[in-house]
Structures are given as structure tokens and as C-alpha cells.
Chain A
Amino acid sequence: MAATTSTMGTPTQPAASQQTPVIMLIAIWHFLIALGLVFGAIQVWNLPSMAGANATIDQILRLGDVVRVFIIGLLGIGIVGAVISGVQIMRLNNGGRLIGLLLNIFLFALSLLYFGHVLGLYIGIDSLATGIWRNAIWLLGIPIGYVVIWLGNKVAPSEEARDTLQKVGLGIMGLALIVVLWNSGLLQSAADFARAFFQPIAIITFILMALFLLVGMYLVRSGYTFGETIAERESWQGWLFLMPNFVNFLLFFALPLLLSFYLSFTNYNAISPARWIGFDNYSRLLSLEIKTVPVEQSSSGVLTFGYSPLTEVELGANKLIIGARDTFFWISLGNTFRYCIMLLLLGVLPALLLAILLNSKIPGMQLFRAVFFLPSIAAVVGVALIWQWLYDPVIGFINAALKFFNPDAQVNWLSDPNVMLIAVVVMAAWQVIGFNAVIFLAGLQAVPRELMEAGKVDGAGPVTRFLRITLPMIAPTTFFVVVTTLISGLQAFSEMYVLLWATSDNARLTTVYYLYEEGFERFQFGSASATAWLLFGVIFIVTLIQFRLSNRSSAYQD
């Protein structure tokens, strides 16, 4: 960012264009970048000949040729950009300068990331954490410093005393941090980084990084030479501001997203190279077969080879046998839908009622709101540990409460396939009700008072007012709550994973659970990716419906 700050203040004027040797050098630099990228592309093309050289290369090769071609394509974009900007910079065209500027800064960001990697900076976070752990006692300085500042704000007799206390508090915090970091072997790691710096690859990366930065800086400052307008300047400034965000987006979102899409069309299993199999994953997951046979006939052998019975429905004298090629997927889908419906019933309606109670403008409302909100901030894993013991058949409070009404009650909440999903839903609803109630409350408070009073004057009772005024007015909020709850329900995993660990019954399978087992227990990455995209399809449709409905309903608000 240093580059951007230094020049932003200077006004620009139309330039008296003139080619200088420096500009020639810059243009040549861009051709060199293009050449380097071409070399890189050739290397990627020849990657199969380097199989076994290191783990990274093998991993990329295993992902299949498509990935290699894709990388070459990305490099190709870079080559084209570098060539265009080189030519245009020679012709003193500002558009070319812009491309060159962004290309250099982008490559600088990438090489900076890579330089950190080569130095072992990222892996070093592990030892940093270890060091902090060894010196954790010093971290006490941070709460102590906080208490000093807090005291300063609360009880200090004068302004000066408050400021002094604030400084002392900050000083204690800073000192504690410095001591922790110092004791954590910062010097030692600095020495390690210095040693890592003298590897050839690190030095090359460093030189490249410096050159990208130098050229980028020069281009940033050369607006005058290229006759840059204010709008054009804002253009690259905007991109520079966006760069940290955008680099991360490309590396850790866009790239994985494309990879996921590609993998869903392969049979990739982490061991043998990925092979393109078209829609096979999808068709295997989605294939259903329905056969009708007389009731008395045995169900076995009716379905085509490869299909297993999913469920049977009796229709008079016949029965329908529904079979699927991947029964677990369909079971997980069914469980997920059942889970979502129950979660909507238990997590949305009570939340609305709670919000109405909270909206009755009574003293202490904020305290209640805070208490109701509490469950939603706790980690699902921790919460599941609590509920696991609440659900315990012998020492759990839930069965104890049931015994109060019915002495014979004895429910094995977490091992009985008929009730385990309900048990999970109750826990999830407990977590989400307060959260939803807060959102509903905000919606209720946004309903104009005049509207309610007008209703009152017209003689509408409280129930009528609620049904005819409040409910339509909060419709967008309701849609929002329903959809967020639904989307979180569709992705339910941790709850089942922690709460239903003791059972291997299919009732515990949700779609994400199925995906997890398919991907990380059976290592069927291709099929797991296809599952993820199918789930995304469902979520997409749900969101689309919400957009449609809430657009229609918000007509009430206009």
C-alpha cells in the first residue's frame, strides 16, 4: 500500500509524451515476464516427465490433465497481458500502463505470498503458537492491562488520571505481548528465516518480488508521463485497494470452486490419477428405479442389478419398490429434509412468539434478549457435549423430567433411530431460537406505530392487527429467518457428528455427513464433490424462492 499513499495527493496533468530509456526498460521487463510465463507454461506441460520429483508435482499430476491445461490457460492470460502491456507501454498508452501496473502488483502479491512460504513463515505459525503456549503466563498481562483501563474509565477522579491509567494499561498489555513474543523464540525463528533466505529459490523469489515492486512503483508514479486522467488514476487505485481481498478470493475461493466443479466430473480418489467420467457421479447419486409388483411377491431380485431397495409403498394389491443406486445418498437427503422441516417448526415459530413477547416494551427486555441469544454464540461441539448428558437415559435431566409425568418413561434419545433426529433438532432449535427471535424483534420494531394505531381506531382487535398488519409487514424478515434457518439446516453436520457418535444407524446421516464420509473416510473425492454441488443446487433453489417471495412481499413496505 505504501506505493499508493505516496502519489495519491499529486495532481495530474496531460503529459508531454516522450519515450525515455526507462520506459523502454519497463517495456522489455514486460516481455521478459511474458517469456518467463511461457517458460513456466512449458514446464507445466512437461510436468508428467518430472513425476516423482516432489510431492507437490505428484499431487498436481494426480488431479489430471484438465488441471494442467487450466494452469497453462491462466499463464496464457498472464502472457497476453504482459505482451499487450509491453507493446502499449512502448507506445506510451495509458491503458497498457494500467495493465502492466496491475500485473506487476498482482505478481508482487503472489511472489510475496510465495516468499513467505519459502521462508517457512506460514508453517512457522505453529512454532509461534507453541512459544506462546510455553509463555502463556505472561499473557495475563493483557487482562490486567484491560482491567487498569476499565478502572480508569470508571473510577479515575480526573481526566489526567484517566489518561495516565489508560497509558499504563496499554503499556502493560504491550509489554506482556513483547515478553511473550520475545520468549517465544522470535530471535530463533528470525535466525531460521535468515537461513532459509539463502536457498536459491528464496533468493530468486526475493529478487523477482523486488523487481515486480520496483516496476509497479515506477508505473504508479509515472502517471504524468502517460497523460493519465483522474478517472484513470482512480481505476488502478481501486484495484490496488481491492488487491488483498481479490488475491485471497482468487486463490482460496474461485480456484477451489472451479476445482470442485471439475472434480465432480471425475472419479478422483486421492490415489490414482483423476479420470473424466462425465455425469457418472451425478447419475449414480440421483438414479432411482420404481418397480411395481404384487404385494405377496418377494421384493428381492425385482430391481435391476446395481440398485438396492430404498423403500416400499403398498398400493392396494400391488406394492411400489423404490430402489436407488446410492441408497445412502437418498437416505441422507430424506433425513436432511426431515431435519429441516422439524427445525423450521421448532426454530422459527417459537422465535416469532418470543419476539412478540419481547416486543411488549416491558422493563428488563434487553436482559431477556441477551439471555435468549446466549445459546447461539456457543460452539456446536461444546453444546453437543452438554446435551449428550442431558439426553443420557439414566442420569440425564430430560428423562428425569419425563419420569415426573410418566414414571415408566425411558427413552434412549441418542441410540433409538426413531427419536435421535428429534433429539438433534431440539438441541439445534434451542441454539437458533434466540438468534431468530432477535432478528424478528428488529423486524417487529420496524413496524410503524401509526399503522397499528390506525388499525386500533378502525376497531381491529389485537389478533386481527397481528394477522393483518404485523405479519404482512414483517414478511421479508420472516423469509430471511426461514431461509437462513433452512440453509443452516441443509448443512447440518457437527450436531450429528458429535451427538450421534455412538450409533452407526443411517438415521444419523445428513447430506453433509454423507459427503464427509464419502470424501474423508472413503476418499471418493469425485463423488463427494458431486454431492456438494447437488446440495448447492438445493440451497440455490431455496434462496431463489426467497428472493422471489420477499420481492413480492416487500410491496407492502413501499
Chain B
Amino acid sequence: MATNIKTQVNYAELAAIRERNELIRLWVVRIAVYILLIAVAFLMLFPFLYMVFTSLKTATDVFHSPPRLLPYSSITAEYEGEQYPLYIVTVDGQERQMIDTGDSARFGFFTTPDLINVDEPRQSQIVVQLPLEAVEGVAGSAVETGQTVEVGGEAFDLFDVTIDGQTQQLALAYRGGLARMIDPNEPSVVTYANARTTPQVERLEFQWRNYEAVINQRNLDRSLINTAVVTFLVTAGQVITSLLGGYAFSRMRFRGRDAVFLVYLGTIMIPFVVLIIPLYQLMVVIGWQDHLVALILPWIFTAYGTFLMRQFFITIPKELEEAAQLDGLSRFGILWRVFVPLSGPAIATQAIITFLYAWNSFIWPLVIISEGNTPNHVVTLTLNQLRNAAQSEPNIMLTGAAVAILPPLILFILAQRYFVEGIANTGLK
């Protein structure tokens, strides 16, 4: 009896433990999956974040090393009617915000001979830095002794250095200019510091003006409009020809249909690079080279789009069509009134794929629109020029990239479903 009860209790406990373990296991797995997904998402998004934040930086902030993501700009203070950048300097143990007025003085950097780094004197550990000429506001003095000390085969000048009334013989490791810093609120406080290594007073600030500058001054406004016109016409044209062609292939029987369809299928495999040279020749013959129409008319035909539309149309039940025919609708009426309203998702998918293709296309515009013909440039060409012209201005370059990438991004956010599902379906067929 007793053992029986015991085993029963054990079973219940076991089940509870197993259930709990299962739950823990599930959550551990879930959390691990989330961590992995978030890590990958970060990697995927980082270049975009970098683009956006860099596009909002100032021309000097972009070259900050080590790199940082967020845009900072230096804060200036007014002194005698002019604006100067503020630095953080410690004077007599007190941290102050001081400005560099543009004056500088030559300084000597002194140390004991054993601390000198012979290969890189500037890397030596410095005991004291003193001006080599008379300047105000610095206590202590250095007087040349005329002697030298030899360290590692090199001669260094020896100086009598006086600090706080005590004189000491030190070697001059190197000379260098230091910026004269003054406190704008207390102009009597003066010190000297290296402006390059002294931290600046900075503030998080977004340079939205970069966008204005890129759009208005780098031809991006022009190329955005051109790209929009080209993309719109190509997308509309492809959808229309694909609808008509897809309907003919899926719903009509005519001599030569299957042969033409096979040829179309074959063309899907042919890469564009095979066409690029003859198409260029053709454009030259017609006289379209360097004109926007060269980016539009040759792209109205799409074997792939026609094929996709046909595949969608054959899934529409035949009865619908027959009913419409009985109602006296013409062929064109059937396509327009029955098929088109039913194929919203298919049309959206095709339009989106075409939009992306037209908006992002690069090699054909590069070939057919010459470099100097900026009024007819599309966005990718402008980016390519920006890449050449703004090599020392990463902020301007990435502002351009952001402007070019933004429209497809907005479209993606608005119509995410069609994108992802449209792409996913292509893989299943």
C-alpha cells in the first residue's frame, strides 16, 4: 500500500517537474533565439544607422578618430565679438572651458635624460613643458646651458629649468607650438595647450543642412525627378504590357502562342550584359543615347513579368470569365473589369519589383548617359559623381546615399507584405 502511494506522488511530482523543465527549456531557447535575431538585426541595420548619423555630421566631426556613431558639433563662445570653439582645459587643478584665439607660442618639452624615447622623442614622458620665449601667464623659466646630453647616440640640449623657485637641469626632448587658450569669462586666465589633443566642448547636434546642400547643390534634385519619371513610366509600361501579354498567354488560344511563350521563357535566362553593347548601338542608331527615353522604352518589355502575370491569371477560375462573356463583356472588358481587380497583389508585386529594378539600375544609365550630361542623370549616376567629387566629405556623400535609398525604403514600409510575399513566392515556383 505504502509503496503504491509513494509512486503515485512521485508520478505527479515528476510530471510537474517535467512540465516546468519543458517551460524553462522553451524560454531559454526563445531568449537565445531573440538574442541571436537581435544581434543579426543590429548587423543588418548598422550600415543604415551609420549612413543616417554620418549624414547629419559636420565636415570636421566625420574625421573623429576613433569613429563614433552620433553626430557632435563643437560649441563656440564669443570673445571680443568673434566666435571661437571651446576646449576643456585644466588650469591649476580647476577644469575650465577655454577658447583658442588662434595665437600660439613655441614651447619646449623637458624631461630627464633617462625618460627620453630616442626613436620617437614626441612619445617621451615629459616632466614639464615651458615656453622658449617670453609669454604671459606661465610660471617658471628655461635657460639654455649650452651643454648637451647624449642618449642612445643622439644629442639633446640641456636647460636650467626653474619651477616654483627650484632650478633643475633637464633635457629638451622636442619643441612644438601650443595654442594660447583663454577663458572667455575670465580673460586673465591664460594657458597653453595642444588644440589637437585637447577635448572640445561638444554637443549632440544634427546637421540637417547637409540634406539641403546635397539636394540643391549636387544635382540630386534634378536626378531625383528624372529617376521618378523614368521609374514611373517603366513600371506603368511593364505592368500594362505584362497584363495584356499575360492574359493572352493564359486565356487565349492562338497560333504560335506556345512557341512565343517558350522563347519568352528562354529569354529570362539571358543576362542583361549580353544586350548592353548592341542595345547601346541601337540607341546610337536611333539617336536616343544621352536621353531619358533610352532608360524607359527598352525596358517596357519584361518576359519575367509577363510570365508571373500568366502564372497568376491561370489560377483565376474560368467560370468567372464565361459569366462575364455571357454578360456581353469584350475580351478587353474582361481583362479590365474582371482580371485586373482580382490581381491586385500580383500587380503590386510586379510593380514593386520593377520599381526597385528601375530605381536602382546603374550599369545601363552609366553606359548610355554620358558623365557630363548632368541634367539627364538619374540618382545612381549622381551618387557615382558624388563618390568622385566628395571624396573628402563623407557626410555629404552619405547624405546623398540616404536621399537615394529613402524612396525605396518608404515604399518598403508602406507595402512590406507585397515585397516579402512576392519574393517568397518566386522561390517556391
Give residues in A with beta carbon < 8 Å to B. 1, 4-9, 55-56, 59-60, 63, 117, 122-123, 125-126, 128-130, 132-133, 136, 231, 234-239, 241-246, 248-249, 251-253, 255-260, 263, 354, 357-358, 360, 362, 364, 368-375, 377-390, 392, 394-397, 400, 403, 430, 433-435, 438-443, 446, 477, 480-481, 487, 490-491, 493-494, 497-498, 501, 512, 515-516, 519-520, 525, 528-529, 532-533, 535-536, 539-540, 543
Contacts and interface: CB of A to CB of B under 8 A. Distances in A.
9 contacts: A9-B330, A63-B281, A123-B288, A123-B293, A231-B253, A241-B335, A378-B48, A381-B360, A440-B427
Nearest to B242: A245
B412 A481 contact: no
A129 B229 contact: yes
B349 interface: no
B67 A395 contact: yes
B interface secondary structure, majority: helix
B423 A379 contact: no
A358 B426 CA distance: 19
B51 interface: yes
B419 A498 contact: no
Contacts of A128: 229
Nearest to A435: B423
Contacts of B179: none
Contact of A446 (B46, B293, B428): B428
B260 A519 contact: no
B260 A242 contact: yes
Nearest to A515: B273
B221 A136 contact: yes
A253 B34 contact: no
B186 to A, nearest CB: 36
B226 A129 contact: yes
A59 B284 CA distance: 8
B376 to A, nearest CB: 6
Contacts of B388: 501
Interface residues of B, number: 119
Q: 8 closest A-B pairs (Cβ-Cβ)?
A: A238-B254, A248-B301, A442-B424, A439-B427, A8-B330, A245-B245, A259-B278, A238-B252
A59 B285 contact: yes
B419 A246 contact: no
A125 B292 contact: yes
Interface string B263-281: 0100101111111111111
B244 A438 contact: no
A488 to B, nearest CB: 10
Nearest to B298: A252
A388 B388 CA distance: 12
B121 to A, nearest CB: 22
Interface stretch (B5-13, B315-323, B401-409): B401-409
Nearest to B225: A133
Interface stretch (B78-86, B124-132, B189-197, B379-387): B379-387
B3 interface: no
Given A56-B287, A130-B375, A381 B383 contact: yes
